[in-house]
Chains A and B, each alone.
Chain A
Amino acid sequence: MATKYFTDDHEWISVEGGVATVGITNHAQEQLGDIVFVELPESGASLTKGGGAAVIESVKAASDVYSPIDGDVSEVNSALETDPAMVNSEAESGAWLWKMSIGDESQLTGLMDEAAYNAHIA
Chain B
Amino acid sequence: MGNGGKLKELPLKKLHIKAGATFGAFAGWSMPLSYKLGVMKEHLQTREHAGLFDISHMKLVLVTGHQSSDLLSRLCPIDPEALGDGHSKYTFFLNDEAGIIDDLIVTRLGQHRYIAVVNAGNVDRDLAHLIDNSEAYDCSVEPLDFVFLALQGPASAELMAAAGFELDDLYFMQATEPRTGWFVSRSGYTGEDGFEFGAPAADAEAVAKQLLADDRCQLVGLAARDSLRLEAGLCLHGQDIDETTTPLEANLMWAIAKPVREAGRFIGADALNAAISAGPQRRRVGLKPDGRQPVRAGADLFDGDGKPIGSVTSGGFGSSAGHPVSMGYVSSDLATVGTSVFAEVRGKRVPATIAKLPFVPPRTRRGK
In the complex, which residues of chain B have a beta carbon less than 8 angstroms from the beta carbon of A57? 293-294, 317
Q: Are A33 and B34 in contact, with the CB atoms below 8 A?
A: yes
Q: Categorize the interface residue count of chain B.
A: 10 to 19
CB distance from A89 to the nearest CB of B (A): 13
The complex places the Cα of A70 from the Cα of B38 at a distance, in Å, of 35
Minimal Cβ-Cβ distance residue in A for B38: A33
Complex interface residues of chain A between 42 and 81 (CB less than 8 A to chain B): 55, 57-60, 62, 81
In the complex, which residues of chain A have a beta carbon less than 8 angstroms from the beta carbon of B43? 59
Identify which of B39, B41, B292, B346 contacts A55 (C-beta below 8 A).
B346
Answer yes or no: B201 CB below 8 A from chain A CBs: no
Answer yes or no: A95 CB below 8 A from chain B CBs: no
Beyond A33-B38, A33-B39, A34-B38, whether A59 also contacts B293 by CB under 8 A is no
Minimal Cβ-Cβ distance residue in B for A57: B294
Identify which of B223, B292, B346 contacts A60 (C-beta below 8 A).
B223
Minimal Cβ-Cβ distance residue in B for A34: B40
Answer yes or no: B319 CB below 8 A from chain A CBs: yes
In the complex, which residues of chain A have a beta carbon less than 8 angstroms from the beta carbon of B40? 33-34, 59
Answer yes or no: B316 CB below 8 A from chain A CBs: yes
Q: Are B346 and A59 in contact, with the CB atoms below 8 A?
A: no
Minimal Cβ-Cβ distance residue in A for B43: A59
Beyond A55-B346, A59-B223, A60-B39, whether A36 also contacts B296 by CB under 8 A is no
The complex places the Cα of A39 from the Cα of B43 at a distance, in Å, of 24
Answer yes or no: A84 CB below 8 A from chain B CBs: yes
In the complex, which residues of chain A have a beta carbon less than 8 angstroms from the beta carbon of B319? 34, 59
CB distance from B61 to the nearest CB of A (A): 32
The complex places the Cα of A103 from the Cα of B226 at a distance, in Å, of 44
Answer yes or no: A117 CB below 8 A from chain B CBs: no
CB distance from B109 to the nearest CB of A (A): 38
Minimal Cβ-Cβ distance residue in A for B322: A36
The complex places the Cα of A75 from the Cα of B42 at a distance, in Å, of 36
In the complex, which residues of chain B have a beta carbon less than 8 angstroms from the beta carbon of A34? 38-41, 319
Q: Are A36 and B324 in contact, with the CB atoms below 8 A?
A: yes
Answer yes or no: B364 CB below 8 A from chain A CBs: no
Minimal Cβ-Cβ distance residue in A for B41: A34
CB distance from B9 to the nearest CB of A (A): 22
The complex places the Cα of A10 from the Cα of B188 at a distance, in Å, of 39
In the complex, which residues of chain B have a beta carbon less than 8 angstroms from the beta carbon of A84? 292
Q: Are B227 and A59 in contact, with the CB atoms below 8 A?
A: yes
Q: Are B296 and A59 in contact, with the CB atoms below 8 A?
A: no
Q: Are B317 and A36 in contact, with the CB atoms below 8 A?
A: yes
The complex places the Cα of A60 from the Cα of B38 at a distance, in Å, of 10
9 A-B residue pairs with CB within 8 Å: A33-B40, A36-B324, A37-B293, A37-B324, A39-B346, A59-B40, A59-B43, A59-B223, A59-B319
What are the nearest 3 A-B pairs in CB distance?
A34-B40, A36-B317, A59-B39
Q: Which residues of B contact A (CB under 8 A)?
A: 33-34, 38-41, 43, 223, 227, 292-294, 296, 316-317, 319, 324, 346
